[in-house]
Chains A and B, each alone.
Chain A
Amino acid sequence: MKRSIQFFLLFLLLAVSFIASTALGSVTIPFGDTVRVLLSAVSGKAVPGVSAMHHDIILRIRIPRVLLGMVVGGGLAVSGLVFQALLKNPLADPYTLGVSAGASFGAGLALFLSYVAGVQFKSFLPAFAFFGAVSTVFLVYFLARTGGRVQVLTIILSGVIVSYLFSSGLVLIMSLMGDKSHEIVFWLMGSLAGFHSFLLPAACITGALSLFIFSFYRDLDLISLGDEQALALGVNTEVVRIVLFSMTSVLTAVSVSMTGTIGFVGLIIPHSMRMVFGPKHKTLIPTTLAAGALFLPLSDMIGRVLPSVLFGSGMEVPVGVITSLFGSPFFIFLLIRGKKRLWF
């Protein structure tokens, strides 16, 4: 298939994902109405004939969720891509360095402090989660520094250790909170509802960081040759690693702090894109961003719609469950088809 057709299909899927996620939900809204409301949102004019309730559902409930899903999905996918390239590990994902454990701990801390002090920290939860996430990165980096050079294996090990550290902290908090610990559990399951007030800054940061990461596409290509060769060709591997790890960790932290830990996106999207588009990061970074942005809202939509269709209930399956359920078979399918273009 020609490259340009592939790009077009990707873009088409992105549009389809956006429209489908906006048009479908636990409440049935006629498709025409959805389209009219979307168009009116752009033009700013009111839409006659569409009930205020439908209007609200689309613009104030679904659209923020979809946009958040696109920002977070894209961010997690690109983070996963960079982690895989830098750690030269196909199993790496954005949470390898313990970012998710730190974010969960931060979130748990916010809930715990609300519970203990009686003050409502809940609306600041993303800020707590963000700082938790970023702290893990610093901690991992300091742990991994041995004799001036940071080895890849040491980074991974430090990430594991720091993960365990923060996870234990989280379990401690949960046991102290006793019966109220279900609040943390909900957050851990990952969700695209809530915290939409942070959407705009998150989108800007994600966009800016993705662009910044994109400027390193050649460095990322060369690093796959091996550190020695990359150095010999002029890549300052240590600086590139530090810069990219920090930026990607911030990117992951921004995503996780708003939605909780949503797994699988950062692992399978980069691999899928690699199988379809090849190994060059100049193509991979934008396509991974787009694929992540289309995958997450779509998964969320399925989680919102499926229980209504099957059980008629207002239940929603957490998006993290859907990403795993639908992600694994898809990945297997790609694996079988794309044997020739395996990375490892």
Chain B
Amino acid sequence: MKTAVKARGLTVSYDDCPVVRGVSLDIREGEFLSILGPNGAGKTTLVRALTGIIKDVGGEVLLSGKKLHEYSRREFARSVSFLPQMPPVSLPFVVSDIVMMGRFPYLRRFEMEKPRDAEIVRNAMRLMGIEQYAKRHLMELSGGEVKRVFIAQAVAQESDILFLDEPTAGLDIAYQAEIFKMLRDFNENLGKTIVLVTHDINHAARFAGRIILFKNGSIAEEGKPEDVVNEDTVRSVFSTEVRVEYDNGVPYVLM
């Protein structure tokens, strides 16, 4: 498997306080990777550094073998999407406008949107089941629907790699399962590389092909879900006692 994104000695500090400490990792093309860890472990910062949103970093990040800062933002955005945890809700734009924003990396300054762009947007909305909301304002939609809008935007971006920061936070169970299923669909059928930061151990363990346990700015454990998720690792990373059951080889964490 080819390496899509590689990080070497990635270090991020806020006010001399290291949040990400010399992390090295490979994200392989086409994999479904989930990063788990307690609050304040630095997971979001890690992802922000990997996507170039934070520029003041030590070490280096490579996308397809090329250093991050050698890419223009537009170029980079054609390959990599990032969904932050809190998408803005009080936006005056309608859904189709927001999804169309995903086409930004492909449109030059005075270039008009082409029929192909409109089609990609339509397909993205159809894929996420939000076509009927095309002319509605974001404020009128529920939390889950809003998430779907922004995922559709990432789909319209036609990027190979999707980074998502807590995409299921605050959503009810039905939506949670749905999002994960959708991401698996992207991964298996569309070949997209998914990197997911989440608190949801169980869904991660069920859907991800690889799990990284992140603690205090470093990788604590890394590997297949059944190898990584057990009572000992959970105890050491999350500082809490749990019971782990298995269902068809997939670990389940019970409180």
- Which residues of A are in contact with B by a Cβ distance under 8 Å? 147-149, 215-216, 218, 221-222, 224-226, 228-229, 231-236, 274, 278-280, 341-344
B125-154 interface with A by 8 A CB criterion: 153
Binary contact readout B78-95 vs A (1 if CB under 8 angstroms, 0 otherwise): 101111100110111100
30 contacts between A and B (CB under 8 A): A147-B56, A148-B55, A148-B56, A149-B55, A215-B110, A216-B109, A221-B93, A222-B101, A224-B93, A225-B91, A225-B101, A228-B84, A229-B82, A229-B87, A231-B53, A232-B53, A232-B77, A232-B81, A232-B84, A233-B77, A233-B101, A234-B73, A234-B105, A235-B104, A236-B72, A236-B74, A279-B91, A280-B93, A342-B92, A344-B90
Binary contact readout B178-210 vs A (1 if CB under 8 angstroms, 0 otherwise): 000000000000000000000000000000000
B-side contacts of A344, CB under 8 Å: 90
A-side contacts of B88, CB under 8 Å: 224-226, 229
Q: What's the least CB distance linking B107 to chain A, in Å?
A: 7
A-side contacts of B110, CB under 8 Å: 215
A-side contacts of B168, CB under 8 Å: none
B-side contacts of A235, CB under 8 Å: 73, 104
The answer to the question of B52 belonging to the interface, with a C-beta cut-off of 8 Å to chain A, is yes
Number of interface residues of B (CB under 8 A): 35
Q: Which residue of B48, B73, B92 contacts A279 across the interface (Cβ within 8 Å)?
A: B92
A-side contacts of B93, CB under 8 Å: 221, 224, 279-280
A-side contacts of B238, CB under 8 Å: none
Q: A226-B84, A229-B84, A279-B93 are in contact. Are A234 and B74 (CB under 8 A)?
A: yes
In the complex, A20→B98 CA distance in Å?
41
B-side contacts of A149, CB under 8 Å: 55-56
Q: A215-B109, A228-B84 are in contact. Are A234 and B90 (CB under 8 A)?
A: no
Q: What's the least CB distance linking A284 to chain B, in Å?
A: 11
The answer to the question of B34 belonging to the interface, with a C-beta cut-off of 8 Å to chain A, is no
B-side contacts of A231, CB under 8 Å: 52-53, 73, 82
A-side contacts of B11, CB under 8 Å: none
Contact A233 B92 (CB under 8 A): no
